[in-house]
Amino acid sequence: MRNATVSRDGGRWYISFCVEDAVAEAAPNGKRPVGADRGVAVAVATSDGGLYDRVFASPGETARLKRLQQRLSRSLCVHGRNRRSKRRDVVRARLGRLHARIRSRRADFAAQTAVRLVRDHGLVAVEDLRVRNMTVSASGTADRPGRNVRAKAGLNRAILDKGWGGLLLALEHAARYHGATVVKVNPAFTSQTCNACGHVARESRESQAVFRCVACGHEAHADVNAAKNILAAGLAVTGRGDLAAGRSVKRQPPERLAACTRLSHGNPHL
């Protein structure tokens, strides 16, 4: 055992041990690759058409969260920020337990989805997203107030609710035991590029669910179309011999490029 950490979450105490598991990474499983797009309408969409999502808080729990947060805010106004009260402590404890329950569901969803992806595929391509930077508040300052603050706050909540960062950690952890590789690719234009013809246009993304290419008319689920572009980018990265988000200057052989292109379109003979 290397170290132990004691923590408290939702009124419960936990102890976690950091140990060397002495387990070598599994040999490559040789299974087909897949691209995974993390979204806000659907948590995960894959290039083979799979859609994975879960509601982490029921409507009743969402309403309860709102009521408890309002009660906590009122208690702060009455008692002041530096004064403690039993009523305020009770509200905070209830909020903590409810948030802990939601976090547990989110972690469970991430773990199950990650295992499903790495167990059935030899390579999982995902976007190299900077989630912390993407969820920075747009409120700005008193001198330079932000724009579209309410809409940005709603987007931030949706991103954090879907657990994008937790899913990536779960994928990288599970891949060691199932012989899979996780490849992070440049996310630029993956949602605006037509997987059929390669045309890039912002107007093609009609909504969170619909992609209709303005050039060739190809229509698909928007997140699935993005996942196919992510897969193609991941195969291009591995074809150059590096597994990083940055693109290598090396060019892959024409035969390998053609094979990657056919594989990204689901050729069952490869």
In a domain, 19, yes or no: no
Those residues whose C-beta lies under 8 Å from the C-beta of residue 210, and which sit 6 or more positions away, are 219, 221, 222
The closest alpha carbon to 233, from 188, 171, 185, belongs to 185
Report the relative pairing of strands 3-9 and 12-18 from DSSP bridges.
Answer: antiparallel
Tell me the residue range of the domain where 233 lies. 36-54+122-264
Per the rule left: phi > 0, alpha: psi between -120 and 50, beta: everything else, 166 is: alpha
**Alpha-carbon span 60 to 94, nearest angstrom:** 14
Q: Among the options 9, 20, 37, 172, which is catalytic?
A: 37
21 is catalytic: no
In a domain, 12, yes or no: no
**Does residue 111 form part of some domain?**
no
Please tell me the total count of domains within the chain.
1
pTM, full prediction: 0.76
List per-residue pLDDT tens for the chain, 270 residues long: 678 888 887 778 888 888 877 667 788 999 999 999 999 989 999 999 999 999 999 999 999 999 998 988 887 665 555 566 788 888 888 999 999 999 999 999 999 999 999 999 999 999 999 888 877 776 665 566 666 677 778 788 888 889 999 999 999 999 999 999 999 999 999 999 999 999 999 999 988 889 999 999 999 999 999 999 999 999 998 765 444 444 433 334 444 444 443 444 444 443
Among this protein's residues, is 203 annotated catalytic?
no
Q: Give the tens place of pLDDT for each residue, 149-164.
A: 777 787 888 888 899 9
Catalytic residue at 242? no
Structure tokens at 57: 């808080």
What type of residue is 214?
V
Residue 235 covered by a domain: yes
The catalytically annotated residue of 161, 223, 242, 255 is 223
Residue 110 domain-assigned (yes or no): no
Spot the catalytic one: 20, 48, 127, 206.
127
User: Quick check: is 136 in a domain?
Assistant: yes
Check if the beta carbon of residue 137 is closer than 8 Å to that of residue 19. no
CA-closest candidate to residue 184, choices 50, 43, 35, 12: 35
The verdict on residue 97 lying in a domain is no
Query: Going by C-beta distance under 8 Å and a sequence separation of 6 or more, which residues neighbour residue 164?
Result: 38, 129, 131
Q: How far is CA 264 from CA 195, 204, 236, in A?
A: 10, 21, 10
Residue 167 belongs to some domain of the structure: yes
